[in-house]
Amino acid sequence: MTDGTPERFRYPTAFTVYDGRQHVLGASMLSDIDAHLRASWPDGAKTPCAVKRAKFLHKTGCDGEITVQRGGGIRDLPKDAACSVTGQYGSGPFLAWFVPDTGAPVTRNVQSGHMIEAVDPAGDFAGRCRIANDRLDKFLLQIVDANKHVQLASAPLRDRKWVSELVSIENFAMCPALCPVDSVLEIENLANRTAADRIFTLNRLRFADREGAPVTLDMGFSFFPEQSS
């Protein structure tokens, strides 16, 4: 990248984790992008990947290709991208995205399952629970599940069955050195709105890393009644 030309790296995916409706999890997409970003940028495993915004655009049950672009010249995403991630890795900006291949359905189906302990809703779409994990990829899956379970236990959602969708993750510095994590997760609702039959929420999550330092990130979800899916 000495002449200022952005570099692109492409990687095939091999997803194994689904939700109960046979969709690749957004956290799996993000952890794959993080792994390939580190493979293309040899700054060491301890370098934080500062995610400005990870946006999950549509569902898929397929493998495909992850593209990581380092440097400037950020262009529009492909129209068929299922997710996109923008941020800073080391001293440079990046853009990454995942494009599924509709002819390559994921053949292995491993249900996600994480022990979310001491779920304690407190207010609408908010509350706390306990999380513990020793690997960044598993931790990403767990923290998304934790936010979902706390919200589903809160008053606006607990009396019906809902389908949940991860919409976005923002302002999160990912790094393998973050783990192992064993912490209380505090979840604050920043905003919520209803559009048609969907409820959209934006929450701020706070927890302590393995050194006890505070970590925050923002996460967007949508919920719609199970019978309308």
Domain boundaries, the chain: 7-110, 113-228
> Per CATH, the architecture of 113-228 is what?
Roll (3.10)
- Phi and psi of 141, rounded to 5°? -65, -40
58 has pLDDT over 80: yes
pLDDT above 90 coverage of the chain, percent: 57
Contact 83, 23 (CB under 8 A): no
CA distances from 127 to 18, 152, 188 (A): 26, 11, 7
The mean pLDDT of the chain is 88
The one-letter code for the residue type at 49 is C
CATH number at 7-110: 3.10.129
Instruction: Name the least confident of 30-39, 68-77, 175-184.
Output: 68-77
**Type and span of the H or E element at 145:** helix 136-152
What distance in Å separates the CA atoms of residue 46 and residue 89, rounded to the nearest whole number?
Answer: 11
Most confident of 74-83, 130-139, 161-170: 161-170
Q: Between these two residues, 99 and 37, which has the higher pLDDT value?
A: 99
Instruction: Name the least confident of 21-25, 139-143, 210-214.
Output: 21-25
CA distances from 158 to 112, 152, 155, 161 (A): 21, 5, 6, 8
